[in-house]
Amino acid sequence: MTPWTSRPISLFPWLCAALFLVMAPMASSQTLSVQPLNVVGTVSPADWEAYRSRFVEDNGRVVDTANGNISHSEGQGYGLLLALAAADRSAFERIWNFTFTELLIRDDGLAAWKWDPASKPRVTDRNNATDGDLLIAYALAKAGAAWQEPRYTTAAQKLAKAIGKTTFSRNGPSLTLLPGAHGFGASDRPDGPVVNLSYWVFEAFPVMAALAPEYEWSRVWRDGVMLLQQTTSGRIRLPADWISLHNGLQPQPADGFPPEFGYNSLRIPLYLYESRND
């Protein structure tokens, strides 16, 4: 399995600006319910058209133009959130249909993370990316509430349950979130488990808890914040992208990854702000 070291670079500036508008009113103060909050229309038609025309194909595929025009579960999740905020139900349905038919092909209910138009089969890595799964489930839950569409709510619940069952991992006294179902656990790597704090989509956890209350979402939230505090105590005060939690010892940069706070970790303060977790 290839780790996700190349993620949606060209989409990112658009997403930071647009998702700040989208998710901030969606964020919940840890109330465990899916509220039909007033998010539809928080992205202007002009902004949505600029994003859609550049990155979204007519069949609902969200294209990562900086990485060989691949698609991935994370990009599909962002596309769903933006379509919802732009009140474009037709585009939302197309993006969801592509996601459902092309990526939700795993037996455990999670989405395969990587789809490449230049390859056959198109899915070139069947492992999941947990942040992508969270974003998709979050968007579906919000759309189900906003548009009173039970299909979306049911799909969100199924995905939330799969995330809790497959990616939650106990590590000593802590409960952590694995970046993928395979390749990151204690049994997968000598320095495992290995985590990435930018995969904690903090504002989604209260919604996931409403969808799948049998899993300890609030604890994953809390332990993620604690891990962030543990890994930002040095001179630079920024966590490494990939962190080893081996044997419950002090978190360290994981083997085989650059010990750096990279581009994708810019999502950490964004997600924290959106969750109102200060």
Catalytic (active-site) positions: 74, 131
Q: Can you tell me whether residue 253 is helix, strand or coil?
A: strand
Q: Which positions ≥6 away from 269 have C-beta within 8 Å?
A: none
Q: Which amino acid is at 67?
A: N
CB distance 243 to 202 below 8 Å: no
Q: Max CA-CA distance within the chain?
A: 51
Phi, psi of 243 (to 5 degrees): -120, 130
Alpha-carbon span 273 to 249, nearest angstrom: 28
CB distance 131 to 199 below 8 Å: yes
* Per-residue CA distances from 142 to 22, 91, 183, 188, 228 (Å): 11, 15, 31, 34, 27
Beta strands in 95-207 (DSSP E): 114-115, 123-125, 168-171, 174-177, 194-195
